[in-house]
Structure 1
Amino acid sequence: MTILTFLLYTCITGLVFYALHLFNLRTPHRNRLPPGPTPWPIVGNLPHLGRVPHHSLADLATKYGPLLHLRLGFVDVVVAGSASVAAQFLKVHDANFASRPPNSGAKHMAYNYQDMVFAPYGPKWRMLRKICSVHLFSTKALDDFRHVRQEEVAILARALVGAGESTVKLGQLLNVCTTNALARVMLGRRVFGDGSGGGDSKSDEFKDMVMEMMVLAGEFNIGDFIPALDWLDLQSVTKKMKKLHVRFDSFLNTILEEHKSGNMDFVSRLISVKDDADGQGGKLSDTEIKALLLNLFAAGTDTSSSTVEWAIAELIRHPQLLKQAQEEMDTIVGRDRLVTEVDLSRLTFLQAIVKEIFRLHPSTPLSLPRIASDTCEVDGYYIPKGSTLLVNVWAISRDPKIWSNPLEFQPTRFLPGGEKPDADVKGNDFELIPFGAGRRICAGMSLGLKMVQLLTATLVHAFDWELANGLDPDKLNMEEAYGLTLQRATPLMVHPRPRLAPHVYQSG
């Protein structure tokens, strides 16, 4: 088939689809789809997504309601934009939406769906999740490796003190800390030298790789929605994914080779584990192990570090709240040691700050997509089999029908007497679901919550903060850069000022 013939065929197909769609709009039928904007020929509603899709979808929800139907190319997409609608999908119909739709990110970066995040719902997925739950995220595992997290956070504190009068790129140092903490559990060693990150080209490269993966994974690739155009790679997304995959695969191959010598860390357990889920007794393949490690390094590092970066940015903009948090910690912890995880349960105001950060700046603004295994009905609307589900977590946590002054940073809303004193972030309260909910809730939620709380507490307790170049906090850029995770448009550049006894930063 020549390119001219192909393009002619594509256009005719698109026009036929568009005519059928208009006909369906004018023909009453009992299978009533949720409301949404009229799609364009062929591309459907892809142009409606804009530069920052979670913003655009929130705007569309104000016009069409909290349950949207879009046609992205030839794919039906439904978007949940309120807590009640999200609960319908993720609680009432959770089993029906337990799998992921096909997408180029999973195919080209996640070893063709061999990972845990994008694997179809079934025995393999359950086995991978169980392995992580037992060896990484169980209460026992978290307690066993508490000292690792505290040691790495102490190393971060020393690095910040060692920066002196230099400007610090906080997000990069936070990423080094979270990556080293996870690597010590998974690999039995740090991956970035002493953990300081200062001038460490490898740590810069790794963070860049993770950030690029999150940006690419968050792209609405035209080829995913118009399969006939996939081979053209019109946005060069597939080319970038394949190139990045080669870099990550090299990194993971090195790790795998180093851990086939019998060391008893997480990777060694993966190498030796038997797959009892399918009854065949076969070992996990190297590809499946690398895919799982890719999930853990990508989702377990950047999400936590970016959330803490947002937290410090908000507290710099609200010095009175920073001071209140410091006073709480000075009373409970004192100034002669660093905060520990044991302290966290008593730091009521600090916990409220973390919840408010998860509300205003959820690490995954649009939930990872799910697919309808069968037709169903939600709020009286027909949801076709094969529909992709997106939950606009960002919009739900800013819904003015649920939250007073939703755009304001107000941790007190989670304190006794506030509007949501009992709300949690663990998937039970659908107005606040930064980790998702239901069967595909983030597997590392417990670890992520501990890391964000400990890092935020330490940075608040151990330092005062000034912006680089004497920038007025009121002028700090708080714009978002869209990707799979919610990054700052501009990195937070700061001067940390130690506020504890000098010997505190030398211990640990």
Structure 2
Amino acid sequence: MFFPSTANMREQNNTIIVSIAMTILLLVAFFCRIKKQAAMAAKNKSKKQPKLPPGPATMPVSGNMHQMMMNKPVFRWIHRLLDEMDTEILCLRLGRVHVITVASPEMAREVLRKNDAVLTSRPASFAWRAFSFGYKNTIGSTGDQWKKMRRVLASEILSPAMECRMLGRRDEEADHLVNYVYSHCNNGTVDVRHVTRHFCGNIARKLVFGRRHFSTPPQANSGGPGHDEEAHIDALFTALDYLSAFSVSDYFPALVGLDLDGHEELFNGLLNTFGRLHDPIIMERMQEWRALRRNGDERREVADFLDVLVSLEDAQGNPLLSLDEVKAETLGILIATVDNPSNAVEWALAEMVNNPNVMKKAVDELDVIVGKERLVEESDIQNLTYLKACIREAFRIHPYHPFNPPHVAISDTIIAGYLIPKDSHVILSRIGLGRNPRVWVNPLEFRPERHLNNATSTMVLAEPELRFVSFGAGRRGCPAVSLGTSITMMLFARLLQGFTWSIPPGADKIELQESVSSLQLSKPLLMQAKPRLLLHLYELDRL
């Protein structure tokens, strides 16, 4: 039997030890190489990965929520941060949600053009869920529901044919406007906010429901708003103010029901008002069209927007829209009609009465284009270039809303080189765009002439370059540009043509002070008005 010698055994052991040592060294070298490559990859990734937009430091879990709750109104706090940080894009984290504010036209175009497909969704919100009856109208819905309602709104409600058909109703309200102001202007000052808001409310009800009043007003009102109409317009504007508010439960959904902001109780009260006023009309109209379908009678021609909504049918001949969809779209149209025209005209008149040269140019244009023998009509609007410049300037400096409705990112995207994470809320600052000193010279000065550069009679109120926001843009932009222009310009032109406006006695000028909690004038605009046309033009029965 052979036994290895001690020398051989030592040699074998040394070989094994060397082999093990070499293996260990190779493994160490391998892992070191892997670690180095991983570190380099991470470093390279960190270099390439865009950063979030600038913003204030955040707290764990809550982010900037504590600051939001301590700084009311929130929109003024956000704009202070934009100024203090000297930035045109700002990132706040409210709970898990990144809220990105954009105040640059270039970035706004990136949002609504380049990244439009990624930013078409809307956020979940107690307010929008309530007022859209479960995200069922065009404004609040997403996905297939939004496509359905957008198609109905754009192709049926706001079609050129329907707009032409509704011309007579809009003309009636423009006549009522002149008559109403004429009947009140000899009693002292005229409340311009009251006049503009109720004109918009009247015309919205006339287009949607076919009536300007929910019930017959007493003769003493001279066609003015009654108790229900007052309650209706108050509810619409209250809803507008709170739909754009920042609510804690929107970012911490588990808190819905606790009503930490006090919004939920308010919303329920508003819905009760809308239900009391809208539902009887909607139910009666749906029963009427249901009877037509059941009896196979020849369908009558649609008379208003509500008729359109309840008469639409699917491929099987059944109603296309449910009761909740009709209620939601009806309320959405009413809400979207009243704010911008009334606010822009009130601010424009306030600015112009303080600047007699601007007022004179506008009135002179009306006298040249229209004259004093007839009232201005919608067909004249295309030629009223200076008046449109005045309204554009009011939209620019004095928007009703500080932000446009939020756009939600359905995936990560990039804006101005910054990372916009999935589920972020992106909002355009109407103040930041319209008052941007990099874009506008002396941005707080009301100067309509700035819109006349290379302007022709085809000037429009929309701003495609997003240097300010009037009707929005992109897939979620307002489809009612033509109708909104008609309502705004007829309100403005009839007031300017029909009356000479002046500062009330005892005042040197109109105080152009914004409300602390909103962008409205801090006090309703009160002015003196004197008729400047032939007296028969103020009479409703002149035709």
TM-score range, shorter chain: 0.7 to 0.9
Q: Unaligned 5+ residue runs, structure 2?
A: 1-44, 290-299
Pair 1:129 & 2:150 matched? yes
Q: What do the CA deviations read for 1:55-111 (whole angstroms, capped 9, x no partner)?
A: 433332231521211101321111111001111111000011111011111122321
Pair 1:495 & 2:511 matched? no
Greater mean alpha carbon deviation, residues 146-155 or residues 320-329: 146-155
1:271 pairs, out of 310, 320, 326, with 310
Q: What do the CA deviations read for 1:424-445 (whole angstroms, capped 9, x no partner)?
A: 5435211122211100001222
Residue 22 (structure 2) aligns with: none
Alpha-carbon spacing, 1:341–1:423, altered in 2? closer, same or farther (3 Å): closer
For 1:198 and 1:272, the matched residues in 2 are separated by 31
Residue 3 (structure 2) aligns with: none
Q: What do the CA deviations read for 1:164-217 (whole angstroms, capped 9, x no partner)?
A: 224322222222222222322322222265795646222221111011101211
SS of the residue corresponding to residue 71 of structure 1 reads strand
Larger Rg: 2
1:246 pairs, out of 252, 269, 272, with 272
Pair 1:79 & 2:101 matched? yes
Q: CA deviation at 1:48?
A: 5.0
Residue 144 (structure 1) aligns with: 165
1:448 pairs, out of 484, 496, 500, with 484
Residue 109 (structure 1) aligns with: 131
Amino acid at match of 1:269: V
Percentage of matched positions with identical amino acids: 30
For 2:90 and 2:410, the matched residues in 1 are separated by 19
Amino acid at match of 2:437: P
Report if the CA contact (8 A) 1:355-1:411 is conserved. Answer: yes
Report if the CA contact (8 A) 1:172-1:204 is conserved. Answer: no
Q: CA deviation at 1:422?
A: 9.1
2:54 pairs, out of 15, 23, 35, with 35
For 2:223 and 2:425, the matched residues in 1 are separated by 40
Residue 42 (structure 2) aligns with: none
Residue 81 (structure 2) aligns with: 60
SS of the residue corresponding to residue 494 of structure 1 reads strand
Amino acid at match of 1:254: P
SS of the residue corresponding to residue 119 of structure 1 reads coil
Greater mean alpha carbon deviation, residues 122-131 or residues 378-387: 122-131
Q: CA deviation at 1:407?
A: 0.4
Q: What do the CA deviations read for 1:333-362 (whole angstroms, capped 9, x no partner)?
A: 111111111111111211111111111112
Alpha-carbon spacing, 1:134–1:28, altered in 2? closer, same or farther (3 Å): closer
Pair 1:231 & 2:231 matched? no
Q: What do the CA deviations read for 1:139-160 (whole angstroms, capped 9, x no partner)?
A: 2322222222222111111111
Report if the CA contact (8 A) 1:80-1:391 is conserved. Answer: yes
Report if the CA contact (8 A) 2:310-2:321 is conserved. Answer: yes
Residue 7 (structure 1) aligns with: none
Matches within 5 A, 1:312-327: 312-327=349-364
Residue 462 (structure 1) aligns with: 498
Amino acid at match of 1:505: Y
SS of the residue corresponding to residue 157 of structure 1 reads helix
Greater mean alpha carbon deviation, residues 200-209 or residues 462-471: 462-471
TM-score normalised according to structure 2 size: 0.82
Residue 408 (structure 2) aligns with: 371
Alpha-carbon spacing, 1:497–1:108, altered in 2? closer, same or farther (3 Å): same
Residue 415 (structure 1) aligns with: 452
Q: CA deviation at 1:45?
A: 2.4
For 1:281 and 1:400, the matched residues in 2 are separated by 55
Q: CA deviation at 1:448?
A: 1.1
SS of the residue corresponding to residue 232 of structure 2 reads helix
Pair 1:472 & 2:491 matched? no
For 2:431 and 2:152, the matched residues in 1 are separated by 30
For 1:248 and 1:203, the matched residues in 2 are separated by 11
Report if the CA contact (8 A) 1:300-1:444 is conserved. Answer: no
Pair 1:348 & 2:380 matched? no
SS of the residue corresponding to residue 476 of structure 1 reads coil
1:286 pairs, out of 309, 319, 323, with 323
For 1:73 and 1:160, the matched residues in 2 are separated by 50
SS of the residue corresponding to residue 307 of structure 2 reads helix
For 1:471 and 1:137, the matched residues in 2 are separated by 44
Alpha-carbon spacing, 1:229–1:274, altered in 2? closer, same or farther (3 Å): same
Report if the CA contact (8 A) 1:181-1:190 is conserved. Answer: yes
Greater mean alpha carbon deviation, residues 263-272 or residues 74-83: 263-272
Amino acid at match of 2:56: P
For 2:284 and 2:458, the matched residues in 1 are separated by 46
Alpha-carbon spacing, 1:500–1:422, altered in 2? closer, same or farther (3 Å): closer
For 2:98 and 2:473, the matched residues in 1 are separated by 22
Q: How many residues align?
A: 475
For 1:247 and 1:427, the matched residues in 2 are separated by 35
Amino acid at match of 1:248: F
Provide the aligned C-alpha RMSD in A: 2.6
For 1:45 and 1:424, the matched residues in 2 are separated by 40
Q: CA deviation at 1:225?
A: 1.3
SS of the residue corresponding to residue 108 of structure 1 reads helix
Residue 119 (structure 1) aligns with: 141
SS of the residue corresponding to residue 77 of structure 1 reads strand
Amino acid at match of 1:478: Q
Q: What do the CA deviations read for 1:346-399 (whole angstroms, capped 9, x no partner)?
A: 112111111111111123320101100011112221111101111102210111
Q: CA deviation at 1:126?
A: 2.1
For 1:99 and 1:59, the matched residues in 2 are separated by 27
Amino acid at match of 1:259: R
Residue 419 (structure 2) aligns with: 382
Alpha-carbon spacing, 1:496–1:177, altered in 2? closer, same or farther (3 Å): same
Pair 1:183 & 2:205 matched? yes
Q: CA deviation at 1:280?
A: 10
